[in-house]
Structure 1
C-alpha cells in the first residue's frame, strides 16, 4: 500500500470517535426477474492445489489503535484468518522495530511487535513480517530475527524484504521510502542477498521473500534506462538463489463493478506468468505470496465482497500460499451508494467508526464487519487448510464456480453470482464424486450482516443476485481409497511427447494418468511402474496432468497435485520464428517478428498464424504485412514486397499490441499451416 494514502487514513482512524451509526441508505427492493438457468460442473479427478495453512490472511498496521486487541483477534479467528502481516504496507520501509518508531509516520499506542504477536497467538494465526529495506539495514533485520525467534521464541517463519520497492521512483513514480543511492532492481536484488544471508545466519529455518511486480500490472515488463531487464527479471536472476518466496500485491484497476468483478478472470494467466518468470530466471519453483489485495471500487460493499471470495479461491487453487487483505482497519473515504448499500470507501475489513468532517455520515460502530469480512469468512469455510481444490466450471460467465475436496471424502462448492439484478437457478453435475441428496448451504447476500446457513439439495441451488453461496456435501458412501499420489514430474519433453514420472509407486496399485481439459479429464493411460510415456502430443502446448491410484478392488485415490508442463516447438521445421518484445509501457508494447525459411524450397506467398494466450491481448496495428485478429487468433499475410521467401531468407514484420492483464507471449506459430520452430 502506498504511504501517502495510508498516512492520511491513519490520522483519520486515530482521531475518529466512537459514533452512533447514521441511518444507512435504504436497500433496493429485491429483484423480481426470473432466475436464469446455469449449469455448474465439478470434476474431482481434476485436482488443483491443496488449500494452504496460511491461505486466508490480513494486514495489520502500526497506525491502527485496534491492532492486537482481543475483540479484533477474535473476529479474525472467527473468519478463519491464519496469516497476519506486520507492520503495515509502506510503513514497513520507515519502521524501526527496536524502538517502535516510524519517522515521518504515525505510530499508535500499543501496536508494538509483542502486542501484535499476542493478537496473532490469540487468533491462532501465524505472522508474516516485512523487514525495513527503505531506511533499514541487513543487520537491523537480522537483530529482529534474533529477538523474535531466538530470544522470545515467536517462531516467525516468513520475512519479506521491503514493500513495493518498484515504487521508489526508479520508474518515474515514487511512493515508497528508499534511501539507497541505487534504486534499480539490481540495487534492490543485491541487498536482498545481504539481508537474506544475515537473517538466515541467525535462524536458518526462516523463509525470505523478495518484492516482485505483479504480471500485467505496472511496472511489469518495463525495462528502465540502464537496466538489464524488467524488475522481475533482474531481481529473480540476481537474488533467486537466496530467497524462498516472491511477494506480489494486487489492486485491480477496475473503477466500476463489472470491470472489478471480471478482473478475477485474469488470475489463471497471472499465476501462470509468475511461475514462468520464476522458473525461467531462477531454475527453481518458489512460493508465491499475495501479501496485499484489495480493490479500487466499492471497497466495503458487495462488489468487493464478491471479488474477494472469487479472488481468494482462484489464487489459492493455483498455488499462492497466502493471500492477505489490505487492511483490518483503514478509515473513511468518499461516501457513496453502491448496489443500494452505503459504501465508505474504506480499505478495512472492520469499521473504524469514522464520520465525515461535517458529521453528516458516520460508519457503523467500531469493529463492525464490512461485506469483505463476511466474504473471507465464507471462503474460509468453503476451503479449509488441507482440502484439495478441484476443477469446477459454469456455463454462465456471471457465475463463478470453485470446488474443494475434504480429507473426510466430502466436497464443498463455492458459487459467486456476479449479476446485480437476476438470480440464477443452478443445476450441478459431479464427476468422480457421488453426493448425498442433502447439502448444507451457506449464503452471504447483498446487504446481509451475517452468513446464513440452511439445508438444501446437492443437485440444485438458487443464487440470489450479487451473492456468495457455499454448498457442503457428503458422499453417499465413505469409501477409503489408496493414498493420494505425490505430484508427478515431466522429463524428456519434446514437441510430441513427455515422460511422466511418479515420485513413488506402490506394488499392487495401478496409476491412471489424466489430462485436464477445462473441467473435463481425459485418461491418457495407466501404469503399474513409476513412469508413463505420453505420445502424440501437440507442439508448444501446455498440459495439466493428474495421477490417480487404483487398487485391485477398484477403489481410487484423490487426484495428485497437478503437473503443468509445455511441449517444445518442433526441433526442426521448414520455418522458424522469433518474437521479441522490444518496448513495453505497461499496457502496450512493440512486437518484432522474424520469420525464416529453413526449408529447401522458396515460399511464394506466406501467412503466419498464432493465438494469444488470453482474450485481453490484441494487435492494434502492424507493418510489413497485413495483420488481422479474430478472437484470440492472429494472422499476418505477406504483402507484395515480401511475399517471396527464399531458402535461408528472413523477413521482418511487427506490430503494436495492447493488453489489459498478464501479457504472456505466444509460443506456437505456423507458416502456411506448418508448425515452426522457435529462435
Structure 2
C-alpha cells in the first residue's frame, strides 16, 4: 500500500459553505437557499438513465409521431413488452393469451422504434408462462439472427405478486411459486440465455424495501422475498430489478415521497452487500406517482424521483407508461383535469362526456422527461446539492464541458419562490449569461432563455426550472477525476480504499472526503493510490469521494462515490441479535436478543439503538419497556429478564412492533449500558 497520512475525523470542513463574494446573492432573505457542492460526486449519468415502458396493447407505440416525441425526449431505454404482459407474452407468435396485443407491436416493430431513437431495449423474458428455452430462442433471434445487440433482459415482471403472499395479479404457471423457486428459475434462464449469447445481462426481480411485500413471510418460511432471492442469485444475476409506486395520502405528500427513495435504495444495497454482492447494478424499471398523473404534480414528482434514483446508483429509471388510457376524472390541486391515465401521451379516450386531449398530446410527465436532458446528458457527473426549504427540491449536474446545471423544483401550486444559489467547489463566471429552461404549470412546452448572471432565481408556481451556469476561466483543474475507489478492507473503526490515478497533469496529493449533507469533510490524504482512514464510528454507512490536487492547489473533479460500511466490535463484552419476524409493507415486528459475554453479571440493563430510517417508529412492545425519542430508542427490562449472567450464561429477548413510511433498515449499533455490542 502506498504511504498515506490520515487526518482525524471532525477536522476542518474544507469544502462546503462559502464566504462572501462579489457574486453572492442580493441582500434580503430568499425563500430558499440551494447549495451545490461540485466536490461531491454522485456518479455519472448512464446512457440508459432515461427510460420509458412500451406495451404490446398500445397500437400507437411505434407510430411516427410517437417516435418523434420519444426521440425529442432523448430517451435511452425502452422496456418491452409491458409490465405484467411480460409473463404472458410469447415473442415468436406476438401473442399474449388472456390479453390483447395490438397490430404492429411485434418485437421487430418495437426494435425499429428503439433503433430510430438511438435507445436500448429492456426486455422481459416470460417467466410466468414461458420457459428458459423460449427465452434463449428470443436471445438467439434478437442478437444472432437480427444483430440487435439487446443487452438487458429481465426474468419475469412482478413475480412476488403471483399469489404466494395473497395477492395474485402476476401470471405464474409454476407449481412452486415461492421466492426460492423463482431464484432457481432465474439461474436456469440465465444459463440458457448466456449459452446463446454470453454478453447478455440477465436481471432478477426484487421487492422495493419499505413497500409490500417487503418483510412479508410465506407460510413456513424464515425469510421474505428479498432475503430469500438475493443470497441465491448474488454474483450470478447481472442486475436486479425493483418497481416503485409510492403510497401518498395527498398531493403534498406525493411531492415529498422522492426523498424516501434514497433510504429505500440504500437498504436494498445493504441487502445485496450482506449477500456479498454490494456492486450489483439496480434497475428501476417501473415508476409513477400514481396521483394527479396527467397534471403538473406528477411532472414535479417524476423529475425529482428520476434524479434521486440515479444519484442513488440506479442505472435506468423507466417511467410507466407511454400510453395507458383514461380511467376516471378528478381535479388536481391547481384545478387541472386528471384522467388517471398513467401514460405520458394521451390515448384520446373519454370518460363519460369528458375527453382527453387529442391522441398523442403530451401530458406534463412527458415534459418532465424532456427536462431531464436539459439538466444532464449521459457522461455528465451528478454532484451534491441541497435546499433549505421543503417546498423547493434541487439536483445538480456538472456537464462534460465544465458547465453546471441546477434543476429547481417548486412544489407550491399557488406561489412563486425565490432561490439563492450558492456554490462550493465551483466558481461561476459572473460576466457570462446563464441559460434558464422552465416548464410552467399548464404549459405545452419548455421555455428556454438566456439572462445576465444572477445568483437569485425566481421559480414560478408548480414549476421545473433548470439554470445552467458557466465556470470562470482558469478556476478548474486540468486533472481528471481519480478512478472509481474501491473498499479493500473495512472493520469496526477503520477502512482502506484504493483508486486509479488521475491523468492530465501533476498530482501533488489525493484527498479523501466524506459527504455530510452539502458539506464535504476531509478524512485523509495520500501521495499514492490508497489510504486507510481510522477512528470511524462502528456500524455506520457513509459515502466518500477521492479528489486530486494539482500543483496550483486546484482540486480535480470528484471520483465516483464509494459506499463505506463499518461493522461492530468482534470482541465486545455484549452481543445483540436483531431479527425482523414479520412485515406488511408499512409495519413490522422485530425480535431483539441481548447477551452479556463479559466476565461480570449485569443486573438491570439499558439497551439503546437508533433507527436508520427517518420513517421508522415504535408502536408497541413486549418483554421489555421500550421508549423512543425520534429515531433514538431505549429498552429496559421487565422483572424476569433483568439479570444477564456472565460469559453468555443466559440471554434476554424482547420484541416490538414498528411502523415505517419508506425504508425500514435494521439498526446497526446497539449499546448495552453504554458499551457498543457485537451485532449479529
1:394 is the counterpart of 2:387: yes
1-structure distance, mates of 2:133, 2:97: 19
Match for residue 610 of structure 2? 611
Name stretches of at least 5 consecutive residues in structure 2 with no aligned partner. 1-27
Match for residue 343 of structure 2? 348
**Contact 2:84–2:158 (CA<8 Å) still a contact in 1?**
yes
1:90 is the counterpart of 2:84: yes
**Contact 2:270–2:278 (CA<8 Å) still a contact in 1?**
no
Q: CA deviation at 1:81?
A: 1.0
2-structure distance, mates of 1:571, 1:131: 44
| 1:499 alignment partner, SS class | strand
1:465 is the counterpart of 2:464: no
**Contact 2:215–2:588 (CA<8 Å) still a contact in 1?**
no
Match for residue 318 of structure 1? 312
| 2:308 alignment partner, SS class | helix
Match for residue 666 of structure 1? 667
Name stretches of at least 5 consecutive residues in structure 1 with no aligned partner. 1-33
Q: CA deviation at 1:159?
A: 0.8
| 1:436 alignment partner, SS class | coil
**Contact 2:36–2:396 (CA<8 Å) still a contact in 1?**
yes
TM-score normalised according to structure 1 size: 0.92
| 2:429 alignment partner, SS class | strand
Moved more, 48-57 or 554-563: 554-563
2-structure distance, mates of 1:514, 1:36: 30
Specify which of 38, 53, 63 is matched with residue 69 of structure 1. 63
**Contact 1:210–1:245 (CA<8 Å) still a contact in 2?**
yes
| 1:448 alignment partner, SS class | coil
Match for residue 418 of structure 1? 411
Match for residue 162 of structure 2? 168
Alignment of 1:34-45 (within 5 A): 37-45=31-39
Match for residue 371 of structure 1? 364
Q: CA deviation at 1:600?
A: 2.8
Alignment of 1:127-526 (within 5 A): 127-338=121-332, 339-356=334-351, 358=352, 360-437=353-430, 438-456=433-451, 457-477=453-473, 479-504=476-501, 508-526=507-525
For the structure 1 residues 472 and 591, does the alpha-carbon distance in structure 2 shift closer, same or farther, using more than 3 Å as the test?
same
Q: CA deviation at 1:407?
A: 1.4
Moved more, 575-584 or 146-155: 575-584
2-structure distance, mates of 1:346, 1:328: 10
**Contact 1:35–1:424 (CA<8 Å) still a contact in 2?**
no
Q: CA deviation at 1:508?
A: 4.4
| 1:578 alignment partner, SS class | strand
Tell me the number of residue pairs that the alignment of Structure 1 and Structure 2 aligns.
644
Alignment of 1:22-33 (within 5 A): none
1-structure distance, mates of 2:569, 2:96: 57
Over residues 57-79 of structure 1, what are the superposed CA-to-partner deviations in whole Å (9 max), with x where a residue is unaligned? 00111111111122111101111
For the structure 1 residues 229 and 643, does the alpha-carbon distance in structure 2 shift closer, same or farther, using more than 3 Å as the test?
closer
1:625 is the counterpart of 2:624: yes
2-structure distance, mates of 1:633, 1:316: 30
Moved more, 301-310 or 580-589: 580-589
1-structure distance, mates of 2:76, 2:471: 28
1-structure distance, mates of 2:532, 2:88: 54
1-structure distance, mates of 2:278, 2:553: 37
Over residues 306-326 of structure 1, what are the superposed CA-to-partner deviations in whole Å (9 max), with x where a residue is unaligned? 110000000011111110111
For the structure 1 residues 307 and 165, does the alpha-carbon distance in structure 2 shift closer, same or farther, using more than 3 Å as the test?
same
Q: CA deviation at 1:420?
A: 2.1
For the structure 1 residues 319 and 419, does the alpha-carbon distance in structure 2 shift closer, same or farther, using more than 3 Å as the test?
same
Q: CA deviation at 1:541?
A: 1.4
Q: CA deviation at 1:626?
A: 2.2
Q: CA deviation at 1:389?
A: 0.8
| 1:266 alignment partner, SS class | helix
Q: CA deviation at 1:605?
A: 3.0
1-structure distance, mates of 2:375, 2:382: 10
1:567 is the counterpart of 2:563: no
Match for residue 23 of structure 1? none
**Contact 1:85–1:129 (CA<8 Å) still a contact in 2?**
yes
Q: CA deviation at 1:517?
A: 0.8
Moved more, 469-478 or 58-67: 469-478
Q: CA deviation at 1:423?
A: 2.3
Q: CA deviation at 1:656?
A: 1.1
Match for residue 593 of structure 1? 592
| 1:582 alignment partner, SS class | strand
**Contact 2:438–2:446 (CA<8 Å) still a contact in 1?**
yes
Q: CA deviation at 1:216?
A: 1.1
Over residues 236-272 of structure 1, what are the superposed CA-to-partner deviations in whole Å (9 max), with x where a residue is unaligned? 2223343101111111111420221121111111111
2-structure distance, mates of 1:382, 1:140: 41
TM-score normalised according to structure 2 size: 0.92
2-structure distance, mates of 1:241, 1:508: 36
**Contact 1:47–1:391 (CA<8 Å) still a contact in 2?**
yes
| 2:468 alignment partner, SS class | strand
**Contact 1:59–1:84 (CA<8 Å) still a contact in 2?**
yes
2-structure distance, mates of 1:154, 1:491: 38
1-structure distance, mates of 2:467, 2:408: 8
**Contact 1:220–1:232 (CA<8 Å) still a contact in 2?**
yes
1-structure distance, mates of 2:358, 2:552: 59
Moved more, 224-233 or 293-302: 224-233
**Contact 2:510–2:525 (CA<8 Å) still a contact in 1?**
yes
| 1:403 alignment partner, SS class | strand
Q: CA deviation at 1:641?
A: 4.5
Q: CA deviation at 1:337?
A: 1.4
**Contact 1:608–1:672 (CA<8 Å) still a contact in 2?**
yes
| 1:242 alignment partner, SS class | coil
2-structure distance, mates of 1:640, 1:460: 62
**Contact 1:35–1:422 (CA<8 Å) still a contact in 2?**
no
2-structure distance, mates of 1:557, 1:214: 36
Match for residue 550 of structure 1? 549
Over residues 89-124 of structure 1, what are the superposed CA-to-partner deviations in whole Å (9 max), with x where a residue is unaligned? 111111111111111111111111111111111112
**Contact 1:435–1:458 (CA<8 Å) still a contact in 2?**
no
